[in-house]
Amino acid sequence: MNFVLTDQQREMQESARRYARERLPSFAARCEQHDEPPPPELVREYAGMGFLGINVAERYGGLGLGNIEALIVLEELAKISGAVAFPVFESCVGPVRAIEHFADEPLRQQVIPAVCRGERMVAVAMSEPEAGSALTDLTTRGEKRGGKIVLNGTKRWCSGGGHAGGYVVYCRLSDAAGSAGIGAVYVESGTSGMSFGAREHLMGFRGVPSTDIVFDNCAVPPGNLVVDAGGFRRLMEAFDLERCGNATMALAQAAGALEDVLVYVQERRQFGKPIVEFQAVQIRLAEMQMRVDAARLLIWRAAANAEMGLPSVLDSSLAKCFANEIAREVCGHAVQLMGGYGYSIEYPMERRLRDAWGWGIAGGAIDIQKVNIAAAMVGRRFDQRR
């Protein structure tokens, strides 16, 4: 076991930190103020730096590095804002990885190099009006007919909806009940029969578009099949990496809040001295640091145990659940320590708290992760329907 980053990893971390702090604050402010995603020129800039394919194979235009390297960069960007980090999240730990691991080679070549070049973002369409935590209840159907896969149904809470260039759509591809009938297909934005609902307006996640997606006899080529019916378990294996990305986005809010508040308590004076001199503040800072470090180690363990593959459900659920919980706690403490400055929209702390809360809902709610953890501990799945 080695708890020290390599020289290459430290260099990448420092380079990403310096770039994020110097380049991204103005973009983050714009995303927050106007609830708009980062502009295309910034995404292309990420591509030029290799940020959109850190852990993607070199033959598809990536850097061919590991998941830890991707998560290190993601954390530094997300400390500035989840919105400016979101393109890196989607490209390095999002549904693109399901395409890379499971799709046929022509679809990989069609999609992944374009993502790495910053020409396309790929989002995942999983949840439905009656299928969120109970994902295997989804009803969106993909029927194979006339040499096409024809989709009908509605997807909800699609982050990137209406903005991404393509979508990995979880759907029912056979009449088999439950997970046995579920697979996924890739749908290009603009495909006939695909439309988007109104833009969601959320408590946080400003700059990350979210909409419903409606499929009405939306036909795609058979080569757009990512995973056929019966491949739900494989899809969720890929999603375990996305859980690590979710955990990192949550961690970044906590780590960024801690960095900000550490400066604040040394500058802010009350009763004739910096407030860091008060023991109550010292204890709170120590507790925040403990939680941030523990979350980061759980995330990196999941990524390291996966080597160059995909994390386990136990490791990824532990990391996501813990990071989601401590992000809310640490950001809440930071707001309290900064008082009115923490609560003011003129400063980033209140935004961190709102975004931190969202990551414990997105990608599988906190309590669902705890059910996953218990299931992995006893070696079986729990039937929630009985």
Question: What is the distance between the alpha carbons of residues 72 and 310, in angstroms, rounded to a whole number?
Answer: 17
Mean predicted confidence (pLDDT) in 36-48: 97
Q: Does residue 164 sit in the same domain as residue 242? A: no
3-class DSSP state for residue 335?
Answer: helix
- Residue 269: inside a domain: yes
- Residue 1: inside a domain: no
DSSP state of 156: E
- Residue 2: inside a domain: no
Mean predicted confidence (pLDDT) in 112-140: 94
End of a domain among 52, 81, 116?
A: 116
Residue 160's pLDDT band (cuts 50, 70, 90):
very high
Q: Are strands 166-172 and 122-125 parallel, antiparallel or unpaired?
A: parallel
Residue 149's pLDDT band (cuts 50, 70, 90):
very high
Residues 6+ away with beta carbon under 8 Å from 9: 68, 69, 72
Q: What is the number of other CB atoms lying within 10 angstroms of the CB of residue 129? A: 13
pLDDT at position 268 = 97
pLDDT at position 305 = 87
Mean predicted confidence (pLDDT) in 351-379: 94
Mean predicted confidence (pLDDT) in 148-168: 96
Residue 238's pLDDT band (cuts 50, 70, 90):
confident
pTM metric for this prediction: 0.94
Q: Give ∠ CA 282-287-292 in degrees, rounded to 5.
A: 125
Q: Does residue 360 sit in the same domain as residue 268? A: yes
- Residue 386: inside a domain: no
Q: What is the mean pLDDT of the chain?
A: 95
- Is the model's pLDDT at 145 over the cut of 70? yes
Mean predicted confidence (pLDDT) in 227-246: 92
- Is the model's pLDDT at 105 over the cut of 80? yes
- CATH code for position 43: 1.10.540.10
- Is the model's pLDDT at 142 over the cut of 80? yes
- Find where tokens 């707001």 sit: 335
Residue 308's pLDDT band (cuts 50, 70, 90):
low
Mean predicted confidence (pLDDT) in 270-293: 98
Q: Does residue 185 sit in the same domain as residue 249? A: no
Question: What is the distance between the alpha carbons of residues 103 and 251, in angstroms, rounded to a whole number?
Answer: 31
Question: What is the distance between the alpha carbons of residues 188 and 209, in angstroms, rounded to a whole number?
Answer: 17
- Residue 248: inside a domain: yes
End of a domain among 206, 229, 252?
A: 229
- Residue 241: inside a domain: yes
- CATH code for position 305: 1.20.140.10
- Is the model's pLDDT at 311 over the cut of 90? no
Q: Does residue 193 sit in the same domain as residue 242? A: no
Beta strands in 243-364 (DSSP E): 269-270, 273-274
Mean predicted confidence (pLDDT) in 348-372: 94
pLDDT at position 239 = 86
What is the residue range of 25's domain? 7-116
Assess contact for 25 and 79: CB atoms under 8 A.
no
- Is the model's pLDDT at 100 over the cut of 80? yes
pLDDT at position 381 = 83
Residue 198's pLDDT band (cuts 50, 70, 90):
very high
Q: Give ∠ CA 32-322-56 in degrees, rounded to 5.
A: 65
Q: Does residue 181 sit in the same domain as residue 52? A: no
Mean predicted confidence (pLDDT) in 75-89: 97
Q: Does residue 242 sit in the same domain as residue 136? A: no
DSSP H helical segments within 200-278, as ranges? 232-267
Q: What is the number of other CB atoms lying within 10 angstroms of the CB of residue 182? A: 26
**Picking from 13-17, 37-41, 353-357, 381-385, which range would have the lowest pLDDT averaged per residue?**
381-385
- Residue 383: inside a domain: no
DSSP state of 54: T
Q: Does residue 19 sit in the same domain as residue 99? A: yes
In the chain, the number of structural domains is 3
End of a domain among 66, 87, 116?
A: 116
- Residue 211: inside a domain: yes
Report the percent of the chain where pLDDT is more than 70.
99
- Is the model's pLDDT at 169 over the cut of 90? yes
Backbone angles phi, psi at 380, to 5 degrees: -155, 160
Residue 223's pLDDT band (cuts 50, 70, 90):
very high
